[in-house]
Amino acid sequence: MKNLAPAISPPRGIGDAKPANEAVLDWVQEIATLTQPENIFWCDGSERESEFLIAESLKQNVLIELNQKKVPHSYLHRSNPTDVARVEQFTFVCTPTKQEAGPTNNWSDPTETYAKLRGLLAGAMRGRTMFVIPYMMGPADSPLAKIGFEITDSKYVVLSLRIMTRMGEIALKRLGNDPSAEWNRGLHSLLDVNPERRFICHFPQDNTIISVGSGYGGNVLLSKKCLALRIGSYLARKQNWMAEHMLILGVESPEGRKHYVAAAFPSACGKTNFAMLIPPAHFKGWKVTTVGDDIAWMQIRNGGLYAVNPENGYFGVVPGTSYKSNSNAMRSIAHDTIYTNVALTDDSDVWWEGKDGEPPAHLIDWRGNDWTPQSQEKAAHPNSRFTTPMRNNPALDPDVEKGEGVPISAIIFGGRRSDTVPLVYQAFDWSHGVYLGATMASETTAAATGAVGRVRRDPMAMLPFCGYNIGDYFQHWLDIGKQLTNPPLIFNVNWFRKSADGKFLWPGFGENIRVLKWIIDRCEGTGGALKSPIGWLPSPHDLDLAELDIDHNAVDELLCLDHEEWQKEIAAHKEFFDSLGGVVPQELQKQREQLAAGFEL
């Protein structure tokens, strides 16, 4: 059992930012009565508060100080080795009926689940400090902005949420005093960080999240997957907007024409990297800017979709990040960053697999053990992450704080597929695009516990994040489309197709601009394409491949449709739809039949 940190006593003026809203105060009192903390710490997100909490975290070994010359204001956190990723098997959607949660979510009865959690939480914060964090998701003047409160007994959570959200006064102001205002209740306790007592539970009908037994990222930063996606998607359907697992980027041509695109790739499939793309030399004058790297909230405006990033920071995958692959990410994490589960060098710098340069001769690995290049184990956990404020990003889009959001020209779906799926293709129309999203699949990654590399269907990259019945979610997509007079075009990409000898056929990263340019050309009505049974496919000369070191055969392979593979793929679509037990809208069933017919011609 982990030795949990005892209560802290803040000096005057810190920890007393009590909100005025009676509904919040009542709820906090109720939770304090249940969990019995030594004291309550009302967070305001200020610099002084953060400095105090960092100092306490260093004393209690919750954070490890890094070399302040090499990575200023940055710290390392090691989570429990049994607690290093999202845990889908312990994640629940507790709607009044199982049918509302649908076939893809773990469901448990709300009354029973509240009772079970109350049992686990009774006295859980004895001798410890309970932190109350007010935060806002979305830009201050966005009609989509949402207020949340997270109660937690983890300082790592407080310091991380300060980076990931707009915390403190700004949230309290937006909430105001109306006790009936909409806000999310988030309750987190580490308990004894035991996988047997680890539950991430969502009660969408109560706008409530309760997470116990974990101290890691997405399980405990309740603003992110829990509120912005699971609860968010539930609210979005009720309120006629969209909450999606999508990056948002801006792309500007040398002539100064600018478009925004949103892209849904499953966890650890390239969203952060695409959102921070640095064009290669041949694309001089092209500029990519980041609005968001993980989550998009979109609303209908002027007959189109406008997107905001609800977050204020990035919780990104560390391994593989280098100046070579993504210098924007490297510059973002060079200061004011919390690292989780990376390796530590002898001079207190951070290291991970795939960082520039040779591995050091000696390291302390993510578990705290000695490591040398001869070690069998990885020095950094494959799902080690950085938490860094978005203002650190040199490629931050100037309109990131714009409340109305940015207009989306294209929506892109994509996953890790070694075979079958071409580099890029375009849906015929919105409804066909929804089908592409609904049937997308990806090889699983280290972002969630469980097998890695297994192909699974992950509709719209939302399988682990859709907070209600997936059939209703598909219908919501179709219904939104019917309200758009100027809908984004929909595309599918695959950066991960492999040759027979198991190597990636496409160089990826900055070179992905070549695919992005074709997508923009299509949006502007200039790009060429061939009609295929799966959608509009570029031929090799429709893509700008100048100065790219790639074999002609590789390009052909990347764009080819293998009929046998597609027969299997379409069978897998059917199997997936059938497995959902009758919730899939007729319109999508029809799309599948049309696709199958296309291959029989």
Indicate which residues carry an active-site annotation.
269
Q: What is the DSSP string of 286-350?
A: -EEEEEESS-EEEEEETTEEEEE---SEEEEE-TT--HHHHHHHHHHTTSS-EEES-EEETTS-E
CB of 50: closest distance to ligand GTP in angstroms? 24
Query: Is 202 an interacting residue with respect to ligand SPV (CB under 6 A)?
Result: no
Contacts of Mn ion in 264-283 (CB under 5 A):
267
Choosing from 135, 509, 536, 577, the residue that interacts with ligand GTP (CB under 6 A) is 509
Q: Copy the structure tokens of residue 375.
A: 């070690």
Of 77 and 86, CB closest to ligand SPV: 86
Paired with 134 in beta bridges are 149
Of 189 and 341, CB closest to ligand SPV: 341
Residues binding ligand SPV: what is the number (CB under 6 A)?
9
Contacts of Mn ion in 282-301 (CB under 5 A):
294
Of 225 and 476, CB closest to ligand SPV: 225
Query: Is 264 an interacting residue with respect to ligand GTP (CB under 6 A)?
Result: no
Query: Is 230 an interacting residue with respect to ligand GTP (CB under 6 A)?
Result: no
Query: CA-to-CA distance for 370 and 379, rounded, in angstroms?
Result: 9
Contacts of ligand GTP in 443-502 (CB under 6 A):
447, 495-496
> 272 contacts which partner out of ligand GTP, ligand SPV, Mn ion, none, CB within 5 to 8 A by kind?
ligand GTP
Query: Which amino acid appears at position 525 of this protein?
Result: G
Contacts of ligand GTP in 288-327 (CB under 6 A):
293-294, 316-317, 319-320, 325
Residues binding ligand GTP: what is the number (CB under 6 A)?
22
Query: Is 128 an interacting residue with respect to ligand SPV (CB under 6 A)?
Result: no
Query: Is 155 an interacting residue with respect to ligand SPV (CB under 6 A)?
Result: no
- DSSP three-state, residue 82: coil
Query: CA-to-CA distance for 318 and 343, rounded, in angstroms?
Result: 11
Q: Copy the structure tokens of residue 121.
A: 């939480």
Of 142 and 211, CB closest to ligand SPV: 211
> 273 contacts which partner out of ligand SPV, ligand GTP, Mn ion, none, CB within 5 to 8 A by kind?
ligand GTP
Paired with 442 in beta bridges are 456
Of 86 and 522, CB closest to ligand SPV: 86
Of 269 and 343, CB closest to ligand SPV: 269
Measured between alpha carbons, how far apart are the two ends of the chain, in Å? 63
Choosing from 104, 142, 273, 442, the residue that interacts with ligand GTP (CB under 6 A) is 273
Of 95 and 321, CB closest to Mn ion: 321
- Strands 489-493 vs 406-414: parallel, antiparallel or unpaired: parallel
CB of 477: closest distance to ligand GTP in angstroms? 20
Query: Is 447 an interacting residue with respect to ligand SPV (CB under 6 A)?
Result: yes
Query: CA-to-CA distance for 469 and 459, rounded, in angstroms?
Result: 12
Contacts of ligand SPV in 257-296 (CB under 6 A):
267, 294
**CB-neighbour burial class of residue 478 (10 A; exposed 0-12, middle 13-18, buried 19+):** middle
Paired with 208 in beta bridges are 185, 203
> 86 contacts which partner out of Mn ion, ligand SPV, ligand GTP, none, CB within 5 to 8 A by kind?
ligand SPV
- DSSP three-state, residue 115: helix
> 224 contacts which partner out of Mn ion, ligand SPV, ligand GTP, none, CB within 5 to 8 A by kind?
ligand SPV
Q: Copy the structure tokens of residue 163.
A: 């980076």
Contact 258, 291 (CB under 8 A): no
Query: Which residues, 6 or more positions from 600, have their beta carbon under 8 angstroms from its beta carbon?
Result: none
Query: Which amino acid appears at position 53 of this protein?
Result: L
Query: Which residues, 6 or more positions from 443, have their beta carbon under 8 angstroms from its beta carbon?
Result: 415, 416, 417, 418, 452, 453, 454, 455, 496
Query: Is 219 an interacting residue with respect to ligand GTP (CB under 6 A)?
Result: no
Q: Give the sign of the dihedral formed by CA 83, CA 88, CA 94, CA 95.
A: positive
Q: Which positions lie near ligand GTP, rule CB under 6 A?
A: 265, 267-273, 293-294, 316-317, 319-320, 325, 447, 495-496, 504, 508-509, 512
- Positions that interact with ligand SPV (CB under 6 A): 86, 217-218, 224-225, 267, 294, 315, 447
